[in-house]
Structure 1
Amino acid sequence: MSDQHGASGQGLRQRRQSNAAAAVETLVGAAKEVEAKVERALLLVWDELEDWRRDNAYIRGGYRPTSNSYRASLASVASIHNETVNIWSHLLGAVAFTVGGALLHGLVAPRYESASGADVLVFSCFFAGAFLCLGMSATYHAISNHSPDVAKWGNKLDYSGIVFLIVGSYVPTLYYGFFCHPALMTLYLYMICTLGAGCLVVSWFEHFRTPEWRPYRAMMFVALGTSGVVPVVQALLVESFEVLHRRMGLGWVLLQGALYILGAFIYAIRWPEKLAPGRFDIWGSSHQIFHIFVLLAAAAHLYGQAKAFDYHHSSMGAKC
């Protein structure tokens, strides 16, 4: 009889503990829901923004309040707002390319005895450019609600990252594509690095950021972005597309360019938020789509250069 009472009491205690745990879980869930609602309530709409924060009128809400605090801006990275996807897409991309670079070096470098420090250097330029571009982009979007001066500084970081990615991407392409023509390789590397340095100058120095210099700034970035056309045309005059596809991953380079152009076009025309203002405030805006296209373009370029590396160290690729 006492055993029955003991078992009954133990079962009662277990039910009470289970009910208590369920109640705590319910309270925690309710608290998180309330917290999320409060966070959403604290977000601003377009009409509440200061002029310096107004960029895309089709994004009607989801704006973080101006923080005037690095800590508050960085803390908001963990919440949901209209910069969340922009921040995390490139932050995770920066981590992925950093880890990917280390893994690629460990897996691919030992594959060929002919692999040298030059291979490591040119790939390091690409990975450094990708990390700087994506990391600077994530930083800019994280602190863009701080203050006018900090937002301007972050915007300079963002533009600088674009320069680093473009220049870093060209380095392995030119190295493998013009390996048998070292004079041309050197010429084109100097040309692209010079244009990149010019873009950095017009991005950072206030004298060149005035409205009078706007056309020249645009020309510098257009020149840098299209500077790869010259060596590609030069190479096509000497070799067939098939040879260049194997030697420098030309098909993947062209795919990279197409992805960049398509992403930039979507960003420029403000699609799809232009069709339904307010519907894509948090998810699916043109800027977010552009970020994804940047990641896809960088991945396509990396794959093409990995194929070029393989061909370069094969019996056929080693012949000039």
Structure 2
Amino acid sequence: MEEQQPAQAMQNMSPSNCQVQVRQRTSSRRLFKSTSGGMSLRLPLPVPKTRPKLLTYDEIPEWYQDNQYVLAGYRPVSGSVRLSIRSWFYIHNESINIYTHLVPAIAFLLGAWYVVDYLHRTYPGVKVIDDLILGFSVLTVTICLGLSTTYHTLINHSLAVEAFWLRQDFIGIVVLTLGSFVSGIYVAFWCEPIQRRTCWTMILTLGSGTIFLLVHPKFQGRRWRTLRTGTFVATGLSGFAPIVHGIKLFGFSQMLKQSGMPYYFTEGALYILGVVVYAVS
């Protein structure tokens, strides 16, 4: 556009012209807000139609460098939820993490209806509380897997988004632990409501404390990593307290039958292994 002469510029600065320009700018901003969801006046990032070039460990920002042993296959920083979700449709170094959480989450949701129907057809005496406990267990599994799927999807979004969803991923692990313990205690202490409520109170208190440490800003960063790891271990190992109490109350052989104890020992060993790998890496 050619530069305007001083006289013409003064003419364009008249009140009527200024009002027209203001209305045009306001209209443009309203139009943009209506098409962008009112989030920002910044233009959205263009969505590439082809797969972006994957990066090496040395090519990504420091906040994105989580594991020095994973040398390549990193998605570029997206800054966009949409771009990060589009990465579901090509292979990168988070693909396995995404799909090993996403597929089971969907399977648990779909399978829950079958399990409930099977129980009601097989055991006519099933009560509402039984359905609620089973539903709670499936819900906690789905929450854990869903949060992990979201974290691994958005890990390349930005520093703030990655840090936020990392905490949600940890919270999901705690929620899953609580879900498995609540259902296990319900079955193991089927006819002992006092012992059942006592164990539930202990587990939920420890789980709530762990979640508090995970979400509180003061306890973030590497300085508090040992404390966060310790609360994870304490919450996981607390599940053995009801087992020990049940052995004293019912005997080892009976507890073995009614509590699924071998599965809990296996689960506890895997929890500890995972925490150790996380702590040393």
TM-score relative to the length of structure 1: 0.68
**Aligned pairs for 1:296-315 within 5 A:** none
Deviations 1:60-112 (A, max 9, x none): 00000000111100101111000000001100010011111111001112322
Q: Give the SS at the match of 1:184.
A: helix
Matching residue's letter, 2:201: Y
Residue number in structure 2 paired with 1:137: 148
Residue number in structure 1 paired with 2:23: none
Matching residue's letter, 2:161: V
Counterpart Cα distance in 1 of 2:89 and 2:153: 10
Q: What's the CA shift for 1:190? A: 0.8
Residue number in structure 1 paired with 2:121: 110
Q: What's the CA shift for 1:266? A: 5.6
Counterpart Cα distance in 2 of 1:254 and 1:120: 25
Q: What's the CA shift for 1:261? A: 3.6
Residue number in structure 2 paired with 1:294: none
Counterpart Cα distance in 2 of 1:62 and 1:83: 8
Deviations 1:137-188 (A, max 9, x none): 0000000000000001110110111011000001111011112221111011
Residue number in structure 1 paired with 2:76: 65
Q: Is the 8 A contact 1:125 1:169 kept in 2?
A: no
Over 3 Å counting, the alpha-carbon distance change for 1:215 and 1:50 in structure 2 is: same
Q: What's the CA shift for 1:236? A: 1.4
Residue number in structure 2 paired with 1:91: 102
Pick aligned residue for 1:160 from 161, 171, 196: 171
Over 3 Å counting, the alpha-carbon distance change for 1:269 and 1:207 in structure 2 is: closer
Residue number in structure 2 paired with 1:182: 193
Counterpart Cα distance in 2 of 1:51 and 1:115: 54
Pick aligned residue for 1:101 from 112, 119, 129: 112
Counterpart Cα distance in 2 of 1:207 and 1:59: 29
Deviations 1:245-275 (A, max 9, x none): 22111122222223334455566667xxxxx
**Aligned pairs for 1:33-48 within 5 A:** 39=51, 42-48=53-59
Pick aligned residue for 2:239 from 214, 222, 228: 228
Over 3 Å counting, the alpha-carbon distance change for 1:212 and 1:43 in structure 2 is: closer
Pick aligned residue for 2:228 from 217, 221, 224: 217
Counterpart Cα distance in 1 of 2:275 and 2:216: 25
Q: What's the CA shift for 1:211? A: 5.0
Counterpart Cα distance in 2 of 1:163 and 1:188: 16
Residue number in structure 1 paired with 2:14: none
Matching residue's letter, 2:65: R
Q: Is the 8 A contact 2:98 2:152 kept in 1?
A: yes
Residue number in structure 2 paired with 1:259: 270
Q: What's the CA shift for 1:132? A: 0.3
Counterpart Cα distance in 2 of 1:220 and 1:129: 19
Q: Is the 8 A contact 2:105 2:146 kept in 1?
A: yes
Unaligned runs of 5+ in 2: 1-47
Q: Give the SS at the match of 2:250.
A: coil
Cα RMSD between the aligned structures? 2.2
Q: Give the SS at the match of 2:73.
A: strand
Q: Is the 8 A contact 2:79 2:158 kept in 1?
A: yes
Q: Give the SS at the match of 2:77.
A: coil
Residue number in structure 2 paired with 1:121: 132
Over 3 Å counting, the alpha-carbon distance change for 1:51 and 1:86 in structure 2 is: same
Residue number in structure 1 paired with 2:213: 202
Count of residue pairs brought into register by the alignment: 234
Over 3 Å counting, the alpha-carbon distance change for 1:267 and 1:197 in structure 2 is: closer
The percentage of counterpart residues that share the same residue type is: 36
Q: Give the SS at the match of 1:66.
A: coil
Counterpart Cα distance in 2 of 1:165 and 1:207: 24
Q: Is the 8 A contact 1:63 1:81 kept in 2?
A: yes
